[in-house]
């Protein structure tokens, strides 16, 4: 994996949880289309704060199990706490390189959200992910079209300026920014069957839309990295600014494209 451009601060973990509110229904549709069912054993690659893992734990039920792995100890610890708080005994989390927690039993399904585009060698990453599956197991990825970004209709200058800065930083900091747009070729190059696909674009603009928080949290996290000498930017304040600007003109927000792919190995 290439260096993660957003870092691993508490601000970034908060951003991941704000992002998960928007992405949950899309990831859930991917999992259901891919064939997730009760009783399955699932691996969540790059689990972050644990949102995908907890969604899987709900779906596989007490007869199933999910293992979430990440390269960041702070994220793994947060995911563990959240699983305990929600009473999920069918979820475990550990560092990806922890030899004491190496998984030897194969999985029925391997899922990754927003992980392929961070890989400097996405083909090898997909191949390695597929190797964790039992014969007939399912590999699924939910990926972001990094270059798509947010848009507003009618145009809202303050929102669009912030959105443009987010995309610029994301494209510069992502190892394979076009991964979402070539998932078929990546799967095939990894020696796998061509995946099935769907693509969705989040949309909102009503007062309670989680897109405001997602965009604001992205901007706050990016500014903390690009302007470390400044006082941390309040995601709450940015969210209020964006909401006021968009709702004042009865605007509509389009989020970035979400490309989902799955195949049976």
Are the C-beta atoms of 70 and 76 separated by less than 8 Å? yes
Quickly count: other Cβ atoms within 10 Å of residue 232's Cβ.
13
Q: Is the pLDDT of residue 224 over 60?
A: yes
pTM of the predicted model, to two decimals?
0.94
Are the C-beta atoms of 64 and 42 separated by less than 8 Å? yes
Are the C-beta atoms of 253 and 150 separated by less than 8 Å? yes
pLDDT digits (tens, 9 = 90+) for 110-119: 999 999 999 9
Residue 1 lies in a domain: no
Which band of pLDDT confidence, cut at 50, 70 and 90, is reported for residue 8? low
The one-character DSSP state at 180 is G
Overall average pLDDT of the 172-197 stretch: 96
User: How far apart, in whole angstroms, are the C-alpha atoms of residue 75 and residue 4?
Assistant: 13
pLDDT at 6: 66
Which band of pLDDT confidence, cut at 50, 70 and 90, is reported for residue 9? confident
CATH number for the domain harbouring residue 46: 3.40.50.150
Domain that holds residue 39: 10-264
Mean pLDDT, rounded, of the chain: 93
Residue 32 lies in a domain: yes
Q: How many domains does the chain have?
A: 1
Residue 5 lies in a domain: no
pLDDT at 246: 97
Q: What is the DSSP string of 185-244?
A: HHHHHTT-PPPEEEEE--EE-STT-HHHHHHHHHHHHHHHHH-TTSPPPPHHHHHHHHHH
Overall average pLDDT of the 12-38 stretch: 95
């Amino acid at each position: 994996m290439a260096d993660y451009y957003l870092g691993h601060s508490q601000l970034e973990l908060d951003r991941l949880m704000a992002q998960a509110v928007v992405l949950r229904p899309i990831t859930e549709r991917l999992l259901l289309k891919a064939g997730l069912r009760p009783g399955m054993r699932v691996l969540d690659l790059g689990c972050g704060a644990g949102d995908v893992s907890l969604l899987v734990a709900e779906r596989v039920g007490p007869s199933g199990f999910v293992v979430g792995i990440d390269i960041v100890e702070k994220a793994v610890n947060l995911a563990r706490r959240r699983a305990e708080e929600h009473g999920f005994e069918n979820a475990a989390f550990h560092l990806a390189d922890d030899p004491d927690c190496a998984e030897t039993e194969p999985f029925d399904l391997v899922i990754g959200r927003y992980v392929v585009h961070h890989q400097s060698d996405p083909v090898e990453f997909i191949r390695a992910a597929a190797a964790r599956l039992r014969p007939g197991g399912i590999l699924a990825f939910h990926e972001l079209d990094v270059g798509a970004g947010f848009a507003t209709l009618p145009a809202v200058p303050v929102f669009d300026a912030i959105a443009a800065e987010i995309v610029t930083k994301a494209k510069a900091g992502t190892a394979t920014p076009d991964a979402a747009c070539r998932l078929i070729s990546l799967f095939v190059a990894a020696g796998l069957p061509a995946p099935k696909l769907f693509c969705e674009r989040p949309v909102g603009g009503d007062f309670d839309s989680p897109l405001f928080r997602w965009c604001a949290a992205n901007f706050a996290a990016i500014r903390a990295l690009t302007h470390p000498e400044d006082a941390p930017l309040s995601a709450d304040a940015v969210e209020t600014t964006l909401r006021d600007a968009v709702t004042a003109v009865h605007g509509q927000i389009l989020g970035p494209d979400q490309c989902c792919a799955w195949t049976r190995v």
